[in-house]
Structure 1
Amino acid sequence: MASNEAQIEAVMEERAAAMAARDIERLMAVYTTDVVYFDLVPPLSYSGAASLRARFLDWFGRWESPIGQRVDRLQIISGVDVATAFMLIEARGTLKGGRDVKYWVRTTNGLRRMAGTWRIAHEHVSLPVDMATRSAVMDLAPGCEQSIIPERMPGDGSFKT
């Protein structure tokens, strides 16, 4: 039997492959039915498989091409029946309307082993934010570990570097 880490890595690979294929059944199979998902876009969270399914279907509909999903810097911490995986994921492809995009997100997954199979019970996707402009920073990539530190926080004159 494969180690917990190998099994969880396989879940992450399956997630990326299902996302690329825009295969909703295959994608939902890696999540628990009571999944809680924190996405880049509102609302603050999606709770339950039905809510997440609707979110993914909406997202799939925004792409003209397959959705490229490359996992980088995957790290896994596992126990007997719970685990955490965190990684960087590159999303790339062509949106409807013809615009090519490529950006990296930070992703953290909480997983549970259920009936011997690892499933994602919680996923949190985020982008760094330039605090001076309050805008997402979408042009970073692994290896360009730059820091954007404002001299002060917007609306607050007390933050200094």
Structure 2
Amino acid sequence: MDGEAELRELVAERVAAVSAKDPAPLAARQHPDIITFNVLPPLHGRGNEAVEEATRAWFDAYASVIGYEVRDLHVTVDGDVGFCSFLYHVSGTLKIGGEVDMWVRATLGCRRVDGRWLIVHDHESVPFDAATGKALIDLQP
């Protein structure tokens, strides 16, 4: 399998792990010194332990399964470095009540270490309205 196919598989593994609320496959694909900028607090995270804690909190917040769909996946590979950029749709029912139904922009910076692709940088964002400063979570692709 070439680098692009391997990174597409990494993203597919991510979808399956989120849908199953299973943080283990996500952690297995993260570099020990991963840096994250996720849409959930805190502003950034560093290292597997912090990321696993945030992931468990995210999964635990849902009363339902988490709907997680990726689209518009673009993969670029050069040697042992690769990038995956995509949109993902996340949906579900929160334990505190309310529904989540939003699209998020994501980029994964990956590096092949000992023959295995690992995520070294995970960046997510949502657009915001410059006039109000509020996140625009109801946009659709």
TM score, norm. by length of structure 2: 0.95
Aligned to 1:4: 3
Q: Deviations over 1:48-83 (max 9, x none)?
A: 000101111111110011111111100011011001
Q: Aligned pair count? A: 141
Taking the aligned partners of 1:101 and 1:69, their CA distance within structure 2 comes to 11
Aligned to 1:69: 68
Aligned to 1:81: 80
Shift of 1:100: 2.3
Aligned to 1:90: 89
Q: Mind listing any 5+ residue stretches in structure 2 that lack a counterpart?
A: none
Aligned to 1:14: 13
SS of the equivalent of 1:41 reads: coil
Q: Which has the higher contact order (CA 8 A, sep 6+)?
A: 2
Q: Which is worse superposed, 99-108 or 47-56?
A: 99-108
Taking the aligned partners of 1:35 and 1:14, their CA distance within structure 2 comes to 18
Q: Mind listing any 5+ residue stretches in structure 1 that lack a counterpart?
A: 143-161
Aligned to 1:112: 111
Mapped pair 1:99 → 2:98: yes
Shift of 1:24: 1.4
Taking the aligned partners of 1:104 and 1:120, their CA distance within structure 2 comes to 21
TM score, norm. by length of structure 1: 0.84
Shift of 1:44: 2.3
Taking the aligned partners of 2:110 and 2:138, their CA distance within structure 1 comes to 29
Taking the aligned partners of 1:82 and 1:116, their CA distance within structure 2 comes to 12
Q: Which is worse superposed, 21-30 or 74-83?
A: 21-30
Aligned to 1:127: 126
Structure 1 residues 44-55: aligned runs within 5 Å: 44-55=43-54
Taking the aligned partners of 1:101 and 1:126, their CA distance within structure 2 comes to 15
AA in 1 matched with 2:82:
A
AA in 1 matched with 2:36:
Y
Aligned to 2:34: 35
Taking the aligned partners of 1:43 and 1:109, their CA distance within structure 2 comes to 18
* RMSD over equivalenced CA pairs, Å: 1.0
Q: Which is worse superposed, 92-101 or 26-35?
A: 92-101
